[in-house]
Amino acid sequence: MDTNDILARARDYLAKESDPDFRKQVEDLIAANDLKELEDRFYRDLEFGTGGLRGVIGGGYNRMNSYVVRRATQGMCDYLKASVKGKSLSACVAYDSRRYSAVFALDTALIFAANGITAYLFSALRPTPELSYAIRRLGADTGVVVTASHNPPAYNGYKAYWNDGAQVIAPHDTGIIEKVNAVRDIKSMPKEEALAKGLLKIIDKEIDEPYVAMVKSTLFRPELFARMAADVKIVYTPLHGTGALHFERVMGELGLSVATVPEQREPDGEFPTVSYPNPEEAAALKMALDLGAQLKADVVMATDPDADRLGIAVPNAAGGFSLISGNQLGALHLDYILLSRKELGKMPKRPAAIRSIVTTGLQTRVAQAYGAESHECLTGFKWIADVMRRFEETGLDFVYATEESYGYLVETDVRDKDGISAAAMTAEMTLYWRSKGKSLLERLDELFMEHGYHEEKGINKYFEGAEGMTIMKGIMERYRAKQPSAFGGVKVARIKDIKTGKEWQAGKPESAKDLDLPSSDVIQWYLEDGTMVTVRPSGTEPKIKYYILARTPVERDGLAGARAESARKISAIEADIRAVLS
């Protein structure tokens, strides 16, 4: 895109943006002739990825701002009215603690209202899973939560949901985008008018109360809490987000003692105590771990800003804390849920679990050990929700879903990952294994002994701006033009290209067969020793992501030997990947 096109798009944006702060940013860039920054803000429009809209806050079509939010909402209204006939329409709107979240949420609700769609707006910030729950409970036709999940403070986002409480997928995602791109006029109305006409309704307790009750109802052994909760200490951090409201209440009502990190308890979109409010990152849990050591906590828990992800750490034999990865906690959850259903006579006829394609194969092995099915889907909980829909159509019984990026779902009343219910299940699981004289780490080691040692490594490389998109596209094209024959000295046995929808044996293209997955820009290599390597450009951030999932049998050298061998394999594979990214 040349300079004239960029400037034309910038002036077009200025004619449409009503927010003075966002307007001034672009006006100042034009005045300073900062063409590089202008190009980054205008070379494309923000697109719906695995989580809807997400981007840096600021003026421009490639930014999160009032105009982009209003246009997206008008497009949603146009699509909804064209797709759903013969009934009064409604939408739920929630938001988290990020900068401009409350502003964007109110803008969204008022545009729904102006289009004759009743908007249910939460009175204050709420977790993302509660938005999904509200859609289903209120029978709404759509919903929006304003959040950028665990991204840095500069970001905000906009997740769009359909009437089942799940994030939109095809055909709704592309249908909404078509309507967004066709928007010429945006309808809105004053808040007072929307309230007076009953087109804007403020909600809180009527959703909070049943949501909390639902979370507690997912648990298997309430008697454990009555007997053991008083002896358990939990240290918790919401990382300046939405989680404290429900986390503290649920745990308190279960009788558990919770010490929330005071410096991180209050919502704050600047996230002043962390550089990255992500419970996947050890640095984000430092204050919680320090408090956990001080109070001799039995478990440390953290939720991300919109409380859909959960990270935990538990005491280890060395006197410190060990972080439990998303893959590991998911395996522990599935094991505990299936074990509990078996012990309590609650195993359904056709139990089935769901995992993303980059989640550990330990999940499948655990499921199969209990006679349950394990289904995989693309990365992103909207795809997990899609599989849940198919379960309902085919008679399979959902028991659990997870993805490696610290997302878990233990119930069917929510159709997105839920850090609050996952935390409650984790607390019960901790008590259960304690009652058996075991820690979570000891149970995890038992799973490794039974199913093989599973280790994982994620590698991310950021590529900002228009040039970055070209670089990432080039990496994927080069892989497809010449597939690697080995990683870390281990030969590739099988290849999946989910973009082309094909799977074949390495070196034998004639063996190709079709995949039963939606097209996505993902390549997976299955190595001869059972290790899997995956690459995909992120759908929500300007980065390319690699996943290494290694399984090593536990043999005569025991777990220590398996851990050492896994570390060696992963290090060699990582070296090959870094060579491509350098």
Q: What is the CATH number of the domain that holds 225?
A: 3.40.120.10
Q: What is the DSSP letter of 269?
A: T
- pLDDT of the residue at 49: 57
Residue with tokens 């299940």: 425
Q: Is 156 helix (H, G, I), strand (E, B) or coil?
A: strand
Note whether residue 308 is domain-resident: yes
pTM (two decimals): 0.94
Please report whether residue 28 resides in a domain.
no
Q: Is there a single domain that holds both residue 49 and residue 195? A: yes
Distance of alpha carbon 534 from alpha carbon 355, whole angstroms: 15
Which of 300, 326, 352 marks a domain boundary? 326
> Half-sphere exposure of residue 251, counting CA atoms within 13 Å on the CB side?
27
In a domain, 96, yes or no: yes
Kindly give, in sequence order, each residue whose CB lies less than 8 Å from that of residue 273, ignoring residues fewer than 6 positions away: 240, 263, 264, 287
Identify the domain boundary among 326, 341, 370: 326
Tell me, yes or no, whether 264 lies in a domain. Answer: yes
pLDDT of the chain, 582 residues: tens digit per residue: 789 999 999 999 999 999 999 999 999 999 999 999 999 999 988 876 555 789 999 999 999 999 999 999 999 999 999 999 999 999 999 999 999 999 999 999 999 999 999 999 999 999 999 999 999 999 999 999 999 998 899 999 999 999 999 999 989 988 998 898 899 999 999 999 999 999 999 999 999 999 999 999 999 999 999 999 999 999 999 999 999 999 999 999 999 999 999 999 999 999 999 999 999 999 999 999 999 999 999 999 999 999 999 999 999 999 999 999 999 999 999 999 999 999 999 999 999 999 999 999 999 999 999 999 999 999 989 999 999 999 999 999 999 999 999 999 999 999 999 999 999 999 999 999 999 999 999 999 999 999 999 999 999 999 877 788 889 999 999 999 999 999 999 999 999 999 999 999 999 999 999 999 999 999 999 999 999 999 999 866 679 999 999 999 999 899 999 999 999 999 999 999 999 998
Listing DSSP states for 528-539 in one string gives TTS-EEEEEE-S
Burial (Cβ within 10 Å: 0-12, 13-18, ≥19) of residue 27: middle
**Residue 391 CB partners (closer than 8 Å, separation 6+):** 352, 397, 398
Examine residue 266 and state whether it is found in any structural domain, yes or no. yes
**Whether residues 443 and 574 fall in one domain:** no
Length of the chain: 582
What is the rounded distance in angstroms from the CA atom of residue 554 to the CA atom of residue 569? Answer: 15
DSSP element (H, E) containing 123 = none
Distance CA 578, CA 512 (A): 29
Query: Nearest to residue 153, comparing CAs of 288, 305, 286?
Result: 305
pLDDT confidence of residue 199:
98
- Tokens 């829909």 — which residue? 389
Q: Which residues of 68-81 are buried (b: 16+ CB within 10 A; e: fewer)?
A: bbbbbbbbbbbbbe
Q: Who contacts 160 (Cβ-Cβ below 8 Å, separation ≥6)?
A: 48, 52, 53, 72, 76, 142, 143, 144, 167, 168, 173, 176
Name the phi and psi angles at 439, rounded to 5.
-95, 170
At residue 27, the pLDDT reads: 97
Q: Which residues contact 20 (CB under 8 A, 6 or more apart)?
A: none
Shared-domain flag, residues 61 and 187 = yes
* Three-class SS state of 357: coil
Asked whether 143 and 135 are in contact (CB, 8 A), the reply is: yes
What is the C-alpha separation between 299 and 115, in angstroms, rounded? Answer: 48
User: Is residue 151 within 8 Å of residue 271, measured between CB atoms?
Assistant: no
The answer to whether residues 188 and 230 belong to one domain is no
Please state, in angstroms and rounded to a whole number, the distance separating the CA atoms of residues 11 and 5.
10
Q: Are residues 55 and 197 in the same domain?
A: yes
Domain count, the chain: 4
CATH number at residue 457: 3.30.310
Q: 159 with 182, same domain?
A: yes
Quick one: 51 and 97 in the same domain? yes
From 149, 188, 439, 566, active-site residue: 149
Same domain (yes/no): 363, 298 = no
Evaluate whether residue 106 is within a structural domain: yes
Please state, in angstroms and rounded to a whole number, the distance separating the CA atoms of residues 410 and 353: 10
Are 476 and 364 in a shared domain?
Answer: no
Last residue of a domain, one of 326, 341, 365: 326
Contact in structure between 283 and 264 (CB atoms under 8 Å): no
Q: Which residues of 422-436 are buried (b: 16+ CB within 10 A; e: fewer)?
A: bbbbbbbbbbbbbee
Q: What is the pLDDT of residue 538?
A: 80
Residues 66 and 183 in one domain: yes
pLDDT recorded at residue 148? 93
Contact 299, 247 (CB under 8 A): no
Same domain, 251 and 355: no
400: nearest Cα among 459, 447, 348, 452: 348
Give every strand in the sheet of 407-409, ordered side by side.
373-377, 351-356, 397-403, 407-409
pLDDT value at residue 540: 62
For residues 152 and 239, state if they share a domain.
Answer: no
Dihedral of the alpha carbons of 339, 344, 345, 348, in degrees to the nearest 10: -50
Residue 517, domain extent = 453-581
- The yes-or-no answer on residue 149 being catalytic is yes
Residue 528 lies in a domain: yes
Residue 31 resides in a domain:
no
d(CA 133, CA 246): 14
Which of 219, 309, 308 lies closest to 256 in space, CA to CA?
219
